């Protein structure tokens, strides 16, 4: 895979700061395995939705990842997937799938080339033969801005208080200055040439169990067959306000958009419940299968409005390893109700 020289914003402006919002964080633990004695978050699912609106504004749309495009296609599992997990979707059948690419911030009219567009999002829903649905959400950035959901809530409120005219350092800038990991996240965002040329990462961890009862902790990764290609600052500025949506619609009309889905396997000492810390690149990757997106849906507006990704729904062999995944599952339906 090759990379163009990506644009990584250096200045911590409010327009750039808003870009680093989107996926909910997880409860922070620094252990190789989840700690059942972790303190529950103070923030409720409704609090989190309201905090996102504090940062981005009120509207009858998704609270975050608001602007996006729907596609349909299929998922074909790999032969090695069942050595890791017993979930039926990895049994061998090619299954139907609906997917959504999106910009990060919760602004319906956000230009694709604006700072808050990054990190881009990739969510999909696989429907198994028995009708059960498996949902996944990922971002094109390896890691998250905070280690805990409560810390994330503090940051969201700081962004909401850092609009135009606020003296520097703004509350958001003060937050980042006090949190080096968060500041590094903000300064390492990238902007893809196409949704089809970005690697996407599942920020939260899951516990996989195979048919023998053997378990491993994993994070998801989606690698584009088209290779990785990101834009420099001047290239991004020259793009149109809908360049990502227009490009992906044109691309899928000519050829399938293909991603290989991998599970990154944790080892002893990896931070299972801290999404702000990526696992080392030396960790083993096991291919779970291939996603092929083949066309736009017949009624994209209706499908978009009714689709919600319940990322922590229980399935055989798959369990959330981050307590925050449960909060995400409870928050998304609240946002869905608001956009109706």
- Locus of tokens 């083949």: 294
Angle in degrees, CA 170, 56, 277, rounded to 5? 70
Which tokens go with 70?
């729907």
Contact by Cβ (8 Å): 240, 112? yes
Dihedral, 294, 297, 300, 306 alpha carbons, nearest 10: -100
Among 104, 142, 96, which residue's Cα sits nearest to residue 121?
A: 104
Mean pLDDT of the chain: 85
Alpha helices in 8-135 (DSSP H): 14-17, 45-56
10 Å Cβ neighbour count for 113?
A: 21
What is the three-class DSSP state of 233?
A: helix
- Per-residue pLDDT tens digits for 62-121: 878 889 999 999 999 999 999 999 999 999 899 999 999 999 988 899 999 999 899 999
pLDDT of 10: 34
10 Å Cβ neighbour count for 261?
A: 24
**What's the whole-model pTM score?**
0.85
Query: Cα(299)–Cα(197) distance, rounded to whole angstroms?
Result: 25
Contact by Cβ (8 Å): 290, 258? yes
- Would you mind telling me the total number of residues written for the chain in this entry? 340
- Per-residue pLDDT tens digits for 241-274: 999 999 999 999 999 999 999 999 999 999 999 9
Contacts of 302 (CB under 8 A, 6+ apart): none
Task: Name the pLDDT band for 129 (thresholds 50, 70, 90).
Answer: very high
Domains and CATH numbers, the chain: 14-339 (2.40.180.10)
């Amino acid at each position: 895979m090759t990379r163009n020289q990506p644009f990584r914003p250096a200045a911590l402006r409010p327009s750039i700061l808003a870009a680093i919002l989107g996926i909910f964080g997880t409860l922070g633990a620094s252990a190789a395995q989840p700690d059942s004695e972790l303190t529950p978050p103070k923030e409720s699912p409704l609090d989190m939705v309201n905090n996102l609106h504090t940062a981005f504004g009120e509207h009858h749309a998704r609270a975050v990842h608001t602007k996006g495009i729907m596609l349909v296609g299929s998922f074909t599992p790999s032969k090695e997937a069942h050595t890791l997990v017993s979930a039926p979707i990895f049994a061998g059948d090619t299954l139907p799938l609906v997917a959504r690419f999106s910009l990060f911030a919760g602004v319906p009219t956000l230009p694709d080339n604006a700072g808050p567009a990054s990190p881009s999002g990739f969510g999909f829903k696989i429907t198994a033969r028995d009708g059960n649905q498996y949902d996944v959400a990922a971002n094109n950035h390896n890691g998250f801005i905070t280690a805990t959901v409560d810390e994330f809530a503090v940051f969201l409120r700081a962004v909401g208080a850092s609009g135009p005219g606020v003296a520097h350092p703004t509350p958001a800038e003060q937050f980042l200055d006090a949190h080096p990991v968060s500041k590094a996240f903000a300064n390492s965002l990238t902007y893809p040439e196409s949704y089809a040329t970005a690697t996407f990462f599942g920020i939260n961890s899951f516990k996989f169990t195979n048919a023998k009862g053997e378990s491993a902790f994993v994070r998801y990764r989606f690698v584009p067959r088209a290779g990785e290609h990101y834009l420099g600052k001047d290239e991004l500025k020259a793009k149109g306000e809908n360049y990502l949506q227009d490009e992906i619609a044109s691309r899928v009309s000519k050829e399938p958009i293909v991603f290989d889905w991998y599970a990154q396997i944790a080892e002893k000492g990896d931070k299972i419940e801290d999404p702000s810390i990526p696992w080392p690149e030396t960790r083993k990757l096991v291919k779970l299968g291939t996603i092929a997106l083949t066309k736009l849906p017949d009624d994209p507006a209706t499908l978009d409005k009714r689709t919600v990704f319940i990322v922590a729904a229980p399935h055989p062999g798959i369990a959330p390893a981050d307590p925050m995944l449960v909060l995400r599952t409870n928050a998304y339906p609240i946002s869905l109700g608001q956009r109706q």
